[in-house]
């Protein structure tokens, strides 16, 4: 993530530009299953706002992080660009905010290294169980345009609004299950028809 040089008409004074790509997966890389690592994450999305309250606890239980985040994309930004402002909180501050009405997402996050890059792999839990997404944070637009689909992913869903956190949290169980099944089917069919040399590099 890097500081964006734009006027305050486009971005807040303390905001940064997050450049990342998001990928849909249908299974967890085997090497992650035996590792007692990662983070347990609970996201609370406040209705009719751009705000997300996040609680992170390491699987080992020794680390905890609380933060309030504002995320949005302007009309001039690419699908892989998001304006983001983070405010780190104390536990007491978090407790004051978590009583507000919110839509909740729960997931377990792993770090996975592949093709000389580090990916965050989110395995969703609770009513969003079955969804697995990988994200990679990039330095700039040029890198985002050049990055290729990793071998463990079904497809790039960066531009698909279905997979944004706020949208996932707001869906009914039926909307989520039907939507996920359709997306998995579409990407698996596309991958099956695509020659390996074009699907992966």
> Which domain CATH number covers 103?
2.40.320.10
Residue 90 · residue 66 · CB < 8 Å: yes
Residue ranges in the chain modelled with pLDDT below 50: 1-9, 197-201
The owner of tokens 């807040």 is: 12
**120 is a domain residue:** yes
Mean pLDDT of the chain: 91
Residue 111 lies in a domain: yes
Question: What is the Cα–Cα distance from 71 to 84, expressed in whole angstroms?
Answer: 5
Q: Which pLDDT does position 120 carry in this prediction?
A: 98
| Buried residues in 84-109 as b, exposed as e (16+ CB within 10 A) | bbbeebeeeebeeeeeeebbebbbbb
In percent, the amount of the chain with pLDDT more than 90 equals 80
* Residue 154, domain member (yes or no): yes
Instruction: Give the per-residue pLDDT at 190.
Output: 87
C-alpha dihedral sign at 87, 93, 98, 102:
negative
Q: How far apart are CA 175 and CA 54, in angstroms?
A: 24
How far apart CA 27 and CA 105 sit, in angstroms, is: 19
Q: Is the residue at 1 inside a domain?
A: no
When divided into structural domains, the chain yields a total of 1
Q: Which two tokens stand for residue 121?
A: 């792999």
Range of the domain at 101: 16-199
Q: Which of 104, 96, 38 is nearest to 66 (CA)?
A: 96
Spatial distance between the Cα atoms of 181 and 177, rounded to a whole number of angstroms: 6
Residue 21 burial class via C-beta count within 10 angstroms: exposed 0-12, middle 13-18, buried 19 and up: buried
> Is residue 55 one of the residues assigned to a domain?
yes
Identify the CA nearest to 40 among candidates 109, 95, 91: 109
Asked, for residue 25, whether it belongs to a domain, the answer is: yes
First CA to last CA distance, the chain: 25
Confidence at residue 199, expressed as pLDDT on a 0 to 100 scale: 42
């Amino acid at each position: 993530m890097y500081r964006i040089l734009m006027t305050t008409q486009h971005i807040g004074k303390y905001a940064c530009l997050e450049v990342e790509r998001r990928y849909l997966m249908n299974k967890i890389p085997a090497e992650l299953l035996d590792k007692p690592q990662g983070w347990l994450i609970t996201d609370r999305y406040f209705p009719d706002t751009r705000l997300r309250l996040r609680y992170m606890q390491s699987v080992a239980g020794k680390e905890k992080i609380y933060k309030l985040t504002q995320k949005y994309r302007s009309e001039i930004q690419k699908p892989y660009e998001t304006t983001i402002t983070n405010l780190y909180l104390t536990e007491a501050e978090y407790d004051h905010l978590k009583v507000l009405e919110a839509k909740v997402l729960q997931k377990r996050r792993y770090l996975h290294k592949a093709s000389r890059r580090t990916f965050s792999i989110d395995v969703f839990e609770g009513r969003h169980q079955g969804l697995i997404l990988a994200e990679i944070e990039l330095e700039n637009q040029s890198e985002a345009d050049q990055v290729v689909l990793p071998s463990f992913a079904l497809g790039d869903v960066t531009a698909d609004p279905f997979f944004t956190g706020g949208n996932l949290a707001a869906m009914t169980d039926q909307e989520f299950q039907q939507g996920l099944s359709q997306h998995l089917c579409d990407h698996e069919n596309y991958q099956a028809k695509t020659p390996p040399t074009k699907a992966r590099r």
